[in-house]
Amino acid sequence: MLYRLVLLLLSPMALAAQEPVQFENQILPILEANCFQCHQETYTDAEERLREPKAGLRLDGAGWILRGSDYSEVLTPGEPDDSLFYELIALPADDESRMPAKGSPLADAKIELIKRWISEGADFGDWKGKPGPKKAHAKVTPKKTLLLQSLAEGTSEASAAGITRAAGTLAQITSALPGTGLLRVDFAGNREQVGYEAVSALMPLRELIVELDLSRTKVGDRAVGKLARMPRLVKLSLAQTEIGAGALSDVATLPELRVLNLVGTKIGDGDLRRLAKLEKLETLYLWGSKVTAGGVKNLRVLLPNCRVVLQAGLPAPEVGAEPQGRRRR
């Protein structure tokens, strides 16, 4: 250290210490010669290999240097001791974190120059280099997660007994929002065995169920009647079940329902008005039900904000394609 200091005092730069360091003339050449090889825009090297900037750190533009690496900022103007940019080049030669990562360390004079440049405020002068990164995109929490988070407030966790009992009836119970008590329930793998009993067994959990998939089960109107007591149910599928109009009256009392799936049911145009109370309903699936375009039109008057899916809009078969018979076993 002392040796370094002596060197510094003797060097011509020390004499000119009043002159601020000029980035473009004094620092940039050091970076070009010692760092660019690993810290510039992705390029293809002589062996046709793609070279991405190490640690995501680019030193070939002012914006990039200020952005830092994929993990952190590397430059704090005025504070060399809080700048990895300096700290890593000043490490002992045998430290494996020392930069440049390969080859010999920078000459002491160069290290001191970089330190001084940072101390003086890391001014890039007119130099911009390669165009910098766009502003980072803000982190977004998906709408669905936000909704569940708000519903989770004030809930208590499911009692283990309740879960055991419900699971005894073939339900697949998973967390709808990890860290909270909210639950998702379906019956995949056991659907044919699910009816009134299975739905009744869910009642101890009724406060916590936000998603319930009863598609292709044997539930009827009596079972659906039970659901009316689920205050947080957001998403319900009754697709391909035998439910009738009566079930819709019970479904319509669900205060938080956003998504209702009635695909392949016997529900028809006349039954839809029972859903008018579902003010929060966002999506209603009706493909393969008895509902017609006319029925949907009437419903839109009652629920103007709800997306109603009636048709699949599948591509028409290829023109001129050989009709192929169905393979039957």
Partner 1 sequence: MRIKKYLQSRDEASRREFVSQAARGMLGLSVMGQLPMASALGLKMGLTGSDDPVPLKPATARNVIYLFMQGGMSQLDTFDPKPGAETQGPVEALRTNADDVQLTQYFPHLARQMDKVTVVNSMHSTQGAHAQGQYYMHTSYAMRGTIRHPSLGAWLSRMAGKNNPTLPGHVLVGGSINTASGGFLESGHYPLPIGDPASGLTNSKLPEHVSTETFHRRLERVEQMNQAFAEKFDQKQVRAYADAYQQAIKLMNSKDLLAFDLSQEPDAILDAYGRNRFGQGCALARRLVEHGTRYVEVVMGGWDTHIDNFDRMEELCPTLDRALASLLADLDARGLLEETLVVLATEFGRTPRIVEGRNGRNHFPKAFSCLLAGGGIKGGYKYGKTDATGEFIEEDGVTVPDFNATIAYALGLPTEHVMHSPSKRPFTVADKGRPLTHLFA
Please report, as ranges, the residues that interact with ligand HEC according to CB under 6 A. Answer: 34-35, 37-39, 54-55, 57, 69, 71-72, 74, 84-85, 88-89, 99-102, 106
Closer of 66 and 252 to ligand HEC (Cβ): 66
Contact call for residue 33 and partner 1 (CB under 8 A): no
Q: Considering CB distances under 5 to 8 angstroms, the limit depending on partner class, which of partner 1, ligand HEC, none binds residue 37?
A: ligand HEC
Q: Which of 139, 150, 154, 320 binds partner 1 (CB under 8 A)?
A: 139
Q: Which of 87, 77, 90, 84 is nearest to 124 (CA)?
A: 77
* Number of residues engaging partner 1 in binding (CB under 8 A): 74
Which 177-236 positions form the footprint of partner 1 (CB under 8 A)?
A: 177-181, 183, 186, 188-189, 192
Type of residue at 258: R
What backbone torsions phi and psi does residue 211 show, to the nearest 5 degrees? -130, 130
What backbone torsions phi and psi does residue 212 show, to the nearest 5 degrees? -135, 120
Closest approach of Cβ 317 to partner 1, in Å? 4
Contact call for residue 25 and partner 1 (CB under 8 A): no
Q: Beta strand pairing status for 307-309 and 259-261?
A: unpaired
Handedness of CA 276, 235, 145, 175 (dihedral sign): positive
Tokens of 285: 């699936």
Contact call for residue 52 and partner 1 (CB under 8 A): yes
Q: Which of 50, 93, 301, 319 binds partner 1 (CB under 8 A)?
A: 50
Q: Which of 7, 30, 228, 309 binds partner 1 (CB under 8 A)?
A: 309
Q: Residues 61-100: x/- map of binding to partner 1 (CB under 8 A)?
A: ---------xxx-x-x----xxxx--xx--------x---
Distance, C-alpha 42 to centroid of its chain: 26
Closest approach of Cβ 77 to ligand HEC, in Å? 15
Closer of 89 and 214 to ligand HEC (Cβ): 89
Q: Which helix (H) or strand (E) holds 43?
A: strand 43-44
Which 106-125 positions form the footprint of partner 1 (CB under 8 A)?
A: none
Q: Distance between CA 179 and CA 9 in Å, rounded? A: 60
Closer of 87 and 221 to ligand HEC (Cβ): 87
**DSSP per residue over 154-221, as a string?**
T--PPPHHHHHHHHTTT-EEEESSTTSS-EEEE-TT-GGG-SHHHHHHTGGGTTTEEEEE-TTS---H
Q: Distance between CA 58 and CA 40 in Å, rounded? A: 5
Closer of 227 and 263 to partner 1 (Cβ): 263
Contact call for residue 314 and partner 1 (CB under 8 A): yes
Q: Which of 205, 169, 161 is nearest to 187 (CA)?
A: 169
Q: Considering CB distances under 5 to 8 angstroms, the limit depending on partner class, which of partner 1, ligand HEC, none binds residue 292?
A: none
Tokens of 246: 């009566």
Closest approach of Cβ 91 to ligand HEC, in Å? 11
Contact 296, 308 (CB under 8 A): yes
Q: Considering CB distances under 5 to 8 angstroms, the limit depending on partner class, which of ligand HEC, partner 1, none binds residue 143?
A: partner 1
**Residue 104 CB coordination number (10 Å):** 8
Closer of 56 and 121 to partner 1 (Cβ): 56
